[in-house]
Structure 1
């Protein structure tokens, strides 16, 4: 069994000109790639196995991330099935000089744990013990259902 809080992974990507579109903000495809990588890290930390992307449930781009800012990505597992792992991902635009952050993107990814033969394999049970873990799980479930 793994506690939800143990699955939290945070990462930053500096938005460089090569990551941008003609408006000089992060290209959505790059943001999605970064989110997928961080989400997979969270899923693998939980499962103890290699995890591959099975589905993306909603990808809401709420505001851009300008060149020079960072994409601050937070991921955590909020539900698990037999071999599947649901991960909530939130990206924030961060100005490192001022430490100002604002949410830019939110999504819910499903990963599948696989073994050495690339066959789905079982994952442990997710435990939600603390009030903070319960809050994070409730936020994720509400957001996945379009209630956020």
Structure 2
């Protein structure tokens, strides 16, 4: 079994001019790219295998990431099937001076664990051994159901 907290990953990218559109905000495709990468890292940490993106639920862009913001991407595995891994992924705008954050984008990704030949392989069971892990899992399941 793998603990949920072992799959929790954060990554940061500064929104630079080459990430931005003519409005001075990050292109949605760049944000989605960062989310997919961090989500895959979480899935691989859980599965102990390479993982490929199989499905992305609706992506809700709630606020823009402004030029100069830090794009803080967080992901964690909250559920699994036989070969699939469900990962909650959220992007936050982080102020580089204060560290204050605000959620800008969120989605749920499904990854499939694969072997060296690209065939699906079974994944372990997920456990939550901490109150924080259980809270994250319950929150993801509840929010996904909405």
Q: Give the alignment's TM-score, normalised by structure 1.
A: 0.96
* Partner of residue 97, structure 2: 97
Query: Partner of 1:122: helix, strand, or coil?
Result: coil
Comparing 126-135 with 87-96, which one deviates more in the overlay? 126-135
Pairwise mapping of residues 1-148 of structure 1 onto structure 2 (< 5 A)? 1-146=1-146
Matches of 1:133 and 1:68 in 2, distance apart?
32
Matches of 2:59 and 2:24 in 1, distance apart?
20
Q: Is the 8 A contact 1:57 1:144 kept in 2?
A: no
Residue 130 of structure 1 deviates from its aligned partner by 1.9
Listed as ranges, the gaps of 5+ residues in structure 2 are none
Total equivalences in the alignment:
146
Aligned CA RMSD, in angstroms, stands at: 0.7
Listed as ranges, the gaps of 5+ residues in structure 1 are none
Residue 99 of structure 1 deviates from its aligned partner by 1.3
Residue 129 of structure 1 deviates from its aligned partner by 2.1
Runs of 4+ in 1 over 2 A off after TM superposition: none
1:61-110: per-residue Cα shift (whole Å, max 9, x none)? 00001111111011000001110000001110011112121110111000
Matches of 1:112 and 1:21 in 2, distance apart?
32
Matches of 1:19 and 1:127 in 2, distance apart?
37
Comparing 33-42 with 126-135, which one deviates more in the overlay? 126-135
Matches of 1:88 and 1:79 in 2, distance apart?
9
Matches of 1:5 and 1:73 in 2, distance apart?
16
